[in-house]
Amino acid sequence: MLTSGIDIRPSTTDNVGLFATEPVPAGTVVWLPCAKCPTWSADELGAVPAERFGLLDKYGHLLEDGSLLLPCMGAFLMNHSCAANVLDTGLDFGVAVRDIAPGEEVTCDYATFTADIGWSMECNCRTSECRGTITTEQGHDPALRARLMDRIDRILPRVGAVDQPLHDVVSAVSPAYARLRQGADSVAADGGGTTVCAPSFMPR
């Protein structure tokens, strides 16, 4: 699921990307894996023709149970940036970590899709923080995780304060979100094991 006020436009990063058409305040839940996102089980993935698998591998993300989820409402078109304005480390949703202005591209950090073992790509984000090659291994790196978590921690109090277009959807599936809306300023209560790679609505 993807929040409102976001459009698909040409991007210098990868052909097309997602761009804000309205201000997206820091603390807004921008996307989350939800029950409406199409999924493929590990067995179904094994039977997908190679060409189609290439597309799913590019746009979907693998979950911890080996299935693949394609973020719905066009959220799968969100590009990577090494200075992403949407992050999900330690969360089961992606949150705006700074104010995003209309016309700005909305980006996340692909290193956080840690269940996709061995995946990598050359980055074209052109930011001063660019890591060059992006790998899912980087998502396990304590130094990078700490840097991303620090950006998230600073805006967590705002999750409970800003208008949330996705409130009904995310409150139904994310205990971390529910705690933040109740005034918690951290999501560490569950040990920080929450991730977009193991959404709570998926059967365990």
Site for Zn ion, rule CB under 5 A: 1, 34, 36-37, 72, 82, 123, 125, 130
Shortest distance (Å) from residue 191 CB to Zn ion: 25
Output the 3-class SS for 1-44. CECCCEEEEEECCCEEEEEECCCECCCCEEECCCCCCCEECHHH
Q: Which is nearer to Zn ion, 130 or 162 (CB)?
A: 130
| Cβ within 8 Å of residue 82, ≥6 positions away | 109, 123, 125, 127, 129, 130, 131, 134
Q: Which two tokens stand for residue 22?
A: 């309205």
> For residues 20 and 48, is the Cβ–Cβ distance under 8 A?
no
Q: Which is nearer to Zn ion, 72 or 184 (CB)?
A: 72
Shortest distance (Å) from residue 203 CB to Zn ion: 16
Shortest distance (Å) from residue 107 CB to Zn ion: 9
Shortest distance (Å) from residue 180 CB to Zn ion: 20
Q: Which is nearer to Zn ion, 36 or 154 (CB)?
A: 36
Q: Which is nearer to Zn ion, 3 or 114 (CB)?
A: 3
Which residue type sits at 38? P
Shortest distance (Å) from residue 38 CB to Zn ion: 8
Q: Which is nearer to Zn ion, 84 or 158 (CB)?
A: 84
- Which is nearest to 17 in space by CA: 165, 152, 92, 125? 125
> For residues 28 and 162, is the Cβ–Cβ distance under 8 A?
yes
Q: Which is nearer to Zn ion, 130 or 184 (CB)?
A: 130
- Which is nearest to 100 in space by CA: 2, 22, 10? 22
Shortest distance (Å) from residue 189 CB to Zn ion: 25
Q: Which two tokens stand for residue 116?
A: 């996709």
